[in-house]
């Protein structure tokens, strides 16, 4: 199984969550975070803000659902022209995928979510 970490614009978060839910990918953690990427912050008038509000979604999925989940996140979080999949806007976010060795449910002290090792 894999963990997907998606750092996206706050205004895109609910769209992404709704689309993932519709696709049957519903278990996730949502965190309010700040940071910046290549855009190096934002300048409004004479004030430069180096940390910009973002949302981070943590989603654990079986290996065979990673591509579907990543495509949904990319499609829904992109703020550029929807008809051009290569073109977005700087600051739309990043998606990271990492391997999850194991998971356990606190309530039952057993394997979490019925997911097996992949």
Mean pLDDT by 10 residues, the chain (118 residues): 96 96 93 86 87 95 96 92 69 94 84 54
Q: What is the pLDDT of residue 39?
A: 75
Q: How many domains does the chain have?
A: 1
Give yes or no for a contact between 41 and 56, defined as CB atoms under 8 angstroms apart. Answer: no
pLDDT of residue 117: 43
Question: What is the per-residue DSSP string for 34-101?
Answer: EE--TT--EEETTEEES-EEEEEEEEEE-GGGHHHHHHHHHHHH--S-TT-TT---TTSEEEEEEE--
The pLDDT of residue 6: 98
Cα 16 to Cα 32, 43, 74, 108, 114, distances in angstroms? 15, 27, 9, 30, 24
Residue 115's pLDDT is what? Answer: 53
**pLDDT given for residue 84 in this prediction:** 64
Distance (Å, whole) CA 57 – CA 60 = 10
CATH number for the domain spanning 17: value is 3.30.70.120
Q: Is residue 64 part of a domain?
A: yes
Domain range for 84: 2-99
So what's the pLDDT on residue 107? 85
pLDDT, position 79: 87
β-bridge pairing 47-49 and 2-8: unpaired
How many angstroms separate the CA atoms of 101 and 82, rounded?
A: 35
Answer whether residue 106 is part of any domain. Answer: no
In a domain, 62, yes or no: yes
Q: How high is the pLDDT of residue 61?
A: 96
């Amino acid at each position: 199984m894999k963990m997907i970490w998606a750092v996206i614009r706050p205004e895109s978060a609910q769209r992404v969550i709704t689309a993932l839910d519709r696709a049957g990918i519903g278990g996730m953690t949502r965190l309010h975070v700040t940071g910046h990427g290549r855009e190096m912050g934002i300048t409004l008038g004479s004030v430069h803000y180096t940390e910009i509000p973002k949302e981070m979604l943590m989603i654990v999925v079986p290996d065979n659902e990673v591509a579907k989940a990543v495509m949904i996140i990319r499609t829904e979080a992109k703020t550029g022209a929807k008809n051009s999949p290569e073109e977005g806007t700087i600051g739309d976010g990043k998606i990271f995928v990492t391997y999850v060795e194991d998971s356990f449910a606190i309530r039952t002290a057993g394997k979490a979510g019925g997911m097996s090792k992949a």
